[in-house]
Structure 1
């Protein structure tokens, strides 16, 4: 008898859908394409010589080298967790290493949190738009998404309050340089978000992937820092997700969860059942790299990405039609476009790649309700300023032609 594999696969797994971004990157890698699609760091900014020295130094030290090749504890290396705790404290978030779990990138953290807190039919509040990777992680648990709109200051509090009043008790939010829009919350809006969550006893999942990539203005405290818990390691409204992927190197796959101890204890059990622990040698290298390279390397990244952002915004100011609007991010890697209502960004992408040799990500994929057909995400991270300018000019010309059809 032939196995009917589609019937064997459980509904949770069948809920997964391919990532539009992953599929798009395969095509956008062609050298003739100016790609604003991938939300990935610029590989030219990876500190290769430093990493070479750190790997050589680690493996040439017999005791440290053998330790780095061995199994380790599921929570993550104590030294690395202490570095993260100390770094959080600098921004006002006082947490102990027992509040921190090392994960295989922030994406694994999203997956584990989804399996911990979500189940079929449970509601989770999402910004509109929101990070596609989070929705992929959450979708396997088949929750009900409750989308709330954003304004220039952050999520609309009346909508957040209404979502919690209707029964939702979890919200996934990105207050700093959000993927995909690049927007950040004001301090007043951050305080209002926390006040609203506490009013209903709701959990805030704070994605802090881009918080270190600030290019101008004052850095605002995270929701975690504002969620004052005193000396109680078991208390808190906020679970924060962090990563070295945007500031050191994605291939290290070093992320972390900062959460109250009851959450961490359960996640550790899940980690033990899943993959035991994150690569020991990668944790050792991440600790050495963070200790040696920060804060100087962060300044290098900020200077480089600031120049790229300025190139993109300058080109958009010069070339885009008046009926195209776009965000003006103060950090991160993304600019968010809103096109005229008559332009579907998915259809535009097909023509852009064929005629203008430019790639971007259609915005509809970032909406939990599949709205936003006339929106798009542009990343300025990997292209050179001169190619950014050329690509925006070509695309603006295409948009102007379509708008006049």
Structure 2
């Protein structure tokens, strides 16, 4: 090595070894290739964004001298007070009576996951996660050097003591339990009421925190709504200040992702600690974006949600119908009641990552291989399909191409 140069790899902290590129972020580059039919990214359709309402809100804020001065200035780390009060009202309607002291604004729910990992995970601690689980949560937690254990919600024989002993053998404690209970990313499945109650029992026995990622909660198309984990926790404990659940919400899937406005709702004691983490990270989210989001949410949130539910419901139905028509025997898939994803199980000998390479090269179809969504013990014969950004023609053609390729691989085995 030349004298005076630095070996960056040896200079990185140990946690850097756990920071890997997101397969999904890389796959999103395929969206720039117009001949690729992409079912990869779980991306909202920009044609459905309330662009006019957002434009009017920015104008309203900036032409007002008092509002514009506030919007372009530093602000408090907790977040814009009227927006926090609006969110508290929404949470109350979901069975979570709370105040603005129970809400902190984050740069999307992804930042909330990062801050929660920083607050609750020490190196060697165990994070309980479903298998599969949201890739972005694994990336957020990885920087804090946890171990992972499979969170079994139904049909398992794990006891609280088995989780505790496994964590201790790995040199730590159970730091948190994380899941996406509604229309999960990646499976599209919803955790039933009994399993939610069982998770809260488990968390109480382990004296650990539950992280409820509610990114898709508003996107229910049919079926019976299930109370949120935080609402159930409030009911059991007698009030939000006695709960152990942290609810991570976002406007990215309902209004627009680019403003990067999400929130964490939970006991005020925990929110106060998260505010300190926020102060050290970025001081506060962009004030103007918070003010605009508040105006837009107050004016159009309910009709906007109704609009996107109908649009995505139609696309889900189209994808399920296309899968039924074109997938060969031996392939199965979930039937989500909401959200943006279908989880496909291939014949055991077909690897999702190998299939992706052939699908893009031969069929010009993209998806996300299932291995990306496992903390440990990845399963290869899975893949995630997203229908949120595809029209009827793309869904029919893309699934037909993919089904044909899978059929040929299955026949050749």
Report the TM-score range of the alignment, normalised by the length of the smaller protein.
over 0.9
Question: When the two structures are superposed, what TM-score results if normalisation uses the length of structure 2?
Answer: 0.94
**CA deviation map 1:251-308 (0-9, x unaligned):** 1100111121221111111111111100000000111111111211100000000000
- Residue 69 of structure 1 corresponds to 72
- Residue 45 of structure 2 corresponds to 42
What number of residue pairs does the alignment pair up? Answer: 401
Q: Distance in 2 between matches of 1:183 and 1:227?
A: 21
- Residue 315 of structure 1 corresponds to 322
Q: Distance in 2 between matches of 1:169 and 1:216?
A: 35
1:170 is paired with a residue of what secondary structure?
strand
- Residue 158 of structure 1 corresponds to 157
1:234 is paired with a residue of what secondary structure?
helix
Q: Distance in 1 between matches of 2:213 and 2:190?
A: 12
- Residue 223 of structure 1 corresponds to 229
The farther-off stretch of 377-386 and 165-174 is: 165-174
2:67 is paired with a residue of what secondary structure?
helix
Question: When the two structures are superposed, what TM-score results if normalisation uses the length of structure 1?
Answer: 0.96
Q: Distance in 2 between matches of 1:118 and 1:347?
A: 34
Contact map agreement 2:332 2:345 (CA 8 A) in 1: yes
- Per the TM alignment, residue 163 of structure 1 is displaced from its structure 2 partner at its CA by 2.1
- Equivalent residues in 2 for 1:17-166, closer than 5 Å: 17-149=20-152, 154-156=153-155, 158-159=157-158, 161=160, 162-164=162-164, 166=166
Contact map agreement 1:68 1:280 (CA 8 A) in 2: yes
**CA deviation map 1:368-403 (0-9, x unaligned):** 114210000000000102210110011000000001
Gapped runs of 5+ residues in structure 1? Answer: none
Q: Distance in 1 between matches of 2:221 and 2:63?
A: 38
Contact map agreement 1:176 1:211 (CA 8 A) in 2: yes
Runs (4 or more) in structure 1 with deviation over 3 Å come to 154-162, 164-167, 229-234
Q: 1:16 to 1:160 in 2, by over 3 A?
A: farther
- Residue 201 of structure 1 corresponds to 207
Contact map agreement 2:97 2:240 (CA 8 A) in 1: no
Q: Distance in 2 between matches of 1:82 and 1:307?
A: 34
Gapped runs of 5+ residues in structure 2? Answer: 168-173
- Residue 213 of structure 1 corresponds to 219
- Residue 242 of structure 2 corresponds to 235
- Equivalent residues in 2 for 1:380-391, closer than 5 Å: 380-391=387-398
Q: CA RMSD in A?
A: 1.5
- Residue 171 of structure 2 corresponds to none
- Residue 186 of structure 2 corresponds to 180
**CA deviation map 1:58-78 (0-9, x unaligned):** 111221122111111110011
Q: Distance in 1 between matches of 2:246 and 2:154?
A: 18
1:251 is paired with a residue of what secondary structure?
coil
Q: Does 1:340 align with 2:343?
A: no
Corresponding residue to 2:270 among 263, 273, 291: 263
